[in-house]
Amino acid sequence: MRAMAVSVVAGVLMTAVSSGTAMADGVKAAVVRPADPLHAWVGLKDASGLETWVQWHISEEKRLIGELTAVTADRSVENTLTKYDEAVAHLQVAGNQAYILFSVYPEKSIRDKGQALVQAISAEQTELALNQAVYAALKGVDTRAADAATRHYLERLLLGYRLAGVDKDEATRAKVRTLQDEMTSISLRFSRNVQDDVRTIPVKDASALEGLPADYIARHKPGANGSVTLTTDSPDYTPVMSYAKSAALRRTMYLAYNDRAYPVNKGVLEDLLRVRQEMATTLGFDTWADLATADMMMGSAGKMKAFLNEVDEASRGRAEKEFARIQHFVNEKDPKAAADLTQSDSGYWGEQFRRATYDFDSQSVRPYFAYAAVEAGILETAARLFHVEFRKAADAAVWDPTVHAFDVYDAGQKQGRIYLDMHPRDGKNKWFSESQLVPGKAGVQLPEAALICNFSGGISGDPGLMEFGEVVTFFHEFGHMMHEVLGGRQRWAGQSGVSTEGDFVEAPSQMLEEMFHDPHILQSFAKHYKTGEVLPLGMIERMNQADYFGRGNWVQRQLLYATYSLQVHNEAPGKVDLDALWRQDAAKFNPYKFVEGSYFYASFTHLTGYSSNYYTYVLDKVIAVDFFSQFDEKNLLDGPAALRYRKAVLEPGSSKPATELVKDFLGRPQSLDALKTWMDKQYEGKVGMAMEAQ
């Protein structure tokens, strides 16, 4: 997942999770250049220091915009677009880092200040998006002698301004400001409610933990009252859903996790949908979904619905066949359980089915995936694939002692810096995402980015044994970060890194997921944390076969999230019953019975980031597996496709339309055929052929 913080003017009203209020607490901080203007956390002593740092960036943006609008000569790229890009870069740096500190900083006072400052920065961004003098200046730039990247940049900026309502009358623009302020406050409140709501599950009977890994049980020792306490943090939640034999514990954990921030976030989400719809109609669109897709590859809500229907048709039959096999298996093992298969049982029975069918117990590979070895292995794999080098930046300042920083080198030249914040702690965002920290700009500043994850480990004595799916998640997020760094050498900061159309950003990251089925890659780092034994080839083959099963249901699950996200944003909010619609969509796309009391939407933070555009994951999976099909599976890292992929897809950043990036690499538009082949991968090999025969 790519974290959605404060976005630049192009698309500001579509993807920003925030808008603005006056500078937090009404304080007017002194406009003094910070000692380190690119890193808010360096030397940060208190909340006022963060406000001073942000205020300087805003003052620089105002200064540059003032110089831009004061130009009396003919408008040119040099005297107008250059100043504009520098101004927006200041807002990007300030917004990115206020958001990251809101999400991860150890001290609550800084997180609170970060939340307030994200609102202030986005308020400034809204003013810029509605500034008619700036729009007129950009519109007047002579681009006849400009390169294609510059022309594309200006075209998207102007589209973003029009979508923001810059050409509306003053009353309308004033209303847009008010609505954007509301959207920010509501969105941040929704996210903060989820972030702060860590629920606990007391387990009084140790037998309820039967089936869980030994290291998991060892980490969760009984308290003075003999009860074990679990939380809804990912390292506790995920193993329970996959391994706990107790259906009651699985259901309790499922409800606790999915109901985080309920009931408060139900009203918050209803308010957000109302304001978004009012924004859409104010700007001349029928629904928010129409507005949110206007500058995307997809282009419209109507095209989105048609695409989702096409993917549904391609995946439904495959998913039904998969679930029928699960049902048959459970009925043979436990007829009582088979009569009441609910969504809280899917992970456990899927695991049991894979063990029986493929002779693969996913716990058996965890000792080969200790966190530190996985981190080193992913860095080594990415270095070979992308022809770069990672050097530990031991002297880099970080916001928490557990964060690791690395500098990225290409042919001996430093190209950027990455930060890995990989384990949970109190107050930290509980999801898995990548965030830009500093937008790169050729000859001016190097790109910097961070991974924010919540894997096990990071504690003395805990090796942080990971499931294979977590390893894949790690590389997925790392793919975003490599896109950020390798695409961060543009002339324009606004085209740096992951700044493409919003519905392309998940394609490079999902493509990299496919790499981790390769035995050569896995054996390069997957070694038993006690014995040093390399992960056996036979185990890799069984693991892959087990992982291939259920891809049809995976696609259907993504369609569930995408359809719900679209529907709640594609009709009048007063007609949307969040609970009834969730039950309806779950019944259509999830074959397991609905768990009564589940209010997943209350913790579904993609609704604030991607809003109606969760379809991005489905579209980008289509593109990603098509990209991967171009690689030589016998030589993934060193074959010619790797460097060609870097040059054609990652390095351009957003200097080209995403559709051109796809065509540059594939030689054609993406095709659904690759997704169908990907779903049918489960039928390869001896076990797969036997399944098909049945």
pLDDT band at 669 (very low <50, low <70, confident <90, very high): very high
Is the CB of residue 81 less than 8 Å from the CB of residue 141? yes
Q: CA–CA distance from 581 to each of 198, 537, 565, 586, 597 (Å)?
A: 26, 45, 10, 8, 14
pLDDT in tens, 287-329: 999 999 999 999 999 999 999 999 999 999 999 999 999 999 9
* Cβ count within 10 A of residue 3: 25
670 pLDDT above the threshold of 90? yes
In a domain, 114, yes or no: yes
28-32, 49-53, 143-147, 552-556: range with lowest mean pLDDT: 28-32
Residue 201 domain boundaries:
197-258
Last-in-domain residue among 187, 212, 227: 187
Shared domain for 116 and 234, answered yes or no, is: no
Residues ≥6 apart with Cβ < 8 Å to 95 = 5, 6, 118, 121, 122, 125
Distance CA 545, CA 80 (A): 56
Side-chain-facing half-sphere of 185: CA atoms under 13 Å: 12
Q: Tell me the pairing of strands 413-421 and 448-452.
A: parallel
686 pLDDT above the threshold of 90? no
pLDDT at 32: 87
CATH value at residue 638: 1.10.1370.40
Shared domain for 66 and 204, answered yes or no, is: no
Shared domain for 183 and 202, answered yes or no, is: no
Q: Domains in the chain: how many in total?
A: 3
Shared domain for 214 and 173, answered yes or no, is: no
Is the CB of residue 57 less than 8 Å from the CB of residue 90? yes
pLDDT at 685: 58
130 pLDDT above the threshold of 60? yes
pLDDT at 23: 40
Residues ≥6 apart with Cβ < 8 Å to 438 = 38, 93, 96, 445, 446, 447, 448
pLDDT at 21: 31
Last-in-domain residue among 214, 240, 258: 258
In a domain, 655, yes or no: yes
Shared domain for 645 and 520, answered yes or no, is: yes
Shared domain for 545 and 410, answered yes or no, is: yes
pLDDT at 574: 87
pLDDT in tens, 609-653: 999 999 999 999 999 999 999 999 899 999 999 999 999 999 999
In a domain, 610, yes or no: no
pLDDT in tens, 74-106: 999 999 999 999 999 999 999 999 999 999 999
In a domain, 355, yes or no: no
Distance CA 463, CA 471 (A): 14
Last-in-domain residue among 258, 278, 296: 258
Shared domain for 83 and 28, answered yes or no, is: yes
pLDDT at 201: 97
pTM: 0.93
Q: Chain-centre distance of CA 201, in angstroms?
A: 27
522 is written with which tokens?
A: 């896995």
Shared domain for 130 and 240, answered yes or no, is: no
Distance CA 145, CA 128 (A): 27
Shared domain for 670 and 632, answered yes or no, is: yes
In a domain, 506, yes or no: yes
Residues ≥6 apart with Cβ < 8 Å to 129 = 9, 12, 13, 160, 161, 164, 165, 166
